[in-house]
Structure 1
Amino acid sequence: MPGPSSNDPNRAPLVADMAAHAGEAAALLKALAHPARLLVLCQLVEGERAAGELQPLTGLSASALSQHLAVLRDMALVHTRREAQNIHYSLAEGPVRDVLDVLYDAYCRPQERAAGTASQRRRSPRPAKGSGQRSRTGSRSHD
């Protein structure tokens, strides 16, 4: 089923909604574009971690880890909880978790990826060949 045409009166609110969130989406992607921050966030997909646990898991120096965690906190991509001398970090809910779940399944599950199960579990069915519908990558399917 094709999407709304450019003459469709229902398209204007959709485009306005996308435009309103484009900056937010770009900021999230910018945060994820740094390999060290992405590595930290991927560790948090598995659950809450203390800063001291993250350092050996990521291989970052204490100073570098602290700087990346500050960026993630400032962007509200992580939540913090203090317990005695330790600060525990957890992944925020919402778009950051949704995006990281997809990335985690694609890149952080080698045994499942080898078996082909991680991507199959999350991926929606592709449109039939010749349907002209866009796939998840945005390219049109062709005969």
Structure 2
Amino acid sequence: MRKRAGLARALVLDPEIVLFDEPDSGLDPVLTSFLNQLIIDLNAQIDATFLIVTHDVNIARTVPDNIGLLYHRHLAMFGPCEMLLSSEDPVVRQFFNAQRVGPIDMSEEKDTDELEAEKGQELPPRPPIPRQQEPSNGIPRRSQREPGA
């Protein structure tokens, strides 16, 4: 309820950008699912850009239209959800498919020998790209509405 109240307070100001910083922190999977649907529905209804910062791969795979992945303080890749989820970039692929094999490790710094040894390893198959969640109750996405609606 606190998260919903905070969101309501932010929306009263009719913002152009709404920032969600780890919106699922402290929530169980059921409440996270409800919050994700609320974010999708609100995004379909108001004319604002929603920016979600999260480490939750499930949210990243199903909620946004576009994704940006930060790695070593730099934007590793940005683009449509499907582009990142099907990327061959080692960092992007490892992160979104939760794989242990790749350039990211506990220290996030591997030496050249480790990276070379991993090049010959076959990566596990990618899971299928999930369908992006849709607004509930037949709410059309902003891009599908009539101008001025």
Where is the strand percentage greater, Structure 1 or Structure 2?
A: 2
Where is the helix percentage greater, Structure 1 or Structure 2?
A: 1
Same fold (TM over 0.5): no
Query: Using CA pairs below 8 Å that are at least 6 residues apart, which structure has the higher relative contact order?
Result: 2
TM bracket (short chain): under 0.3
Larger C-alpha radius of gyration, 1 or 2? 1
TM-score normalised by structure 1 residue count: 0.27
TM-score normalised by structure 2 residue count: 0.26
